[in-house]
Homo-oligomer: A and B are copies of this chain.
């Protein structure tokens, strides 16, 4: 399905080529974790990978192009986030568990990929459709499930009619993403990680069901 990996000038990459390509991506990933996006240079990535800048340009048009590649890989893995919600109940104690596990899984995913997600967020906010699509791909996996859950509760009359399921779900997902991206900020406000999670879960539960959880 996914077309073969190709170099910029159209050649098909063989085993060795793919290895260097991947090594470049790995090194870029590392660099993004340790230095500001704006300061990541092709020459540094190449040096770190023990190769030359020219090699980098054989596989990627520029830094941004390579970042997109990494982000794409991550987005695919991010599909697993759907499992945090598949077949879960929002009623009674089970609802509280669902909320907690969603928060847990989400924060964990963000923490694992924070460097690349920062850049994706920026690109999306700047209006770049490619980054925007990737961000959607990740968030949709959670957002769609959440929207469905709310819509279902709504059809049963457990949630007010004037609630827009997509708007609420989207806002909650945005909240999770933002909190995950700025976890350190909460420490300044005197909030520890461990305290943060249950309060986030509370907000998610409130948003989805409109009611306080039964613990």
Contacts and interface: CB of A to CB of B under 8 A. Distances in A.
Q: How many copies does the complex hold?
A: 2
A197 to B, nearest CB: 9
A125 to B, nearest CB: 5
A80 interface: no
A203 B199 contact: no
29 contacts: A36-B123, A37-B126, A38-B38, A38-B63, A118-B126, A121-B121, A125-B182, A127-B184, A135-B182, A135-B185, A143-B189, A147-B189, A162-B198, A163-B199, A167-B200, A168-B199, A170-B185, A170-B189, A170-B191, A172-B175, A174-B175, A174-B178, A174-B182, A174-B185, A175-B178, A203-B203, A203-B206, A206-B207, A206-B210
Interface in A113-137: 114, 118, 121-128, 132, 135-136
Interface in A154-175: 160, 162-164, 166-172, 174-175
A195 interface: yes
Contacts of A185: 124, 132, 135-136, 139, 170, 174
A54 B109 CA distance: 45
Contacts of A14: none
Contacts of A123: 36
B38 A37 contact: yes
A212 interface: yes
A129 to B, nearest CB: 10
A185 B170 CA distance: 9
Contacts of A207: 203, 206
Contacts of A190: 166
A167 to B, nearest CB: 4
B160 A212 contact: yes
Interface residues of A, number: 57
A177 to B, nearest CB: 6
A70 interface: no
A164 B166 CA distance: 27
A64 interface: yes
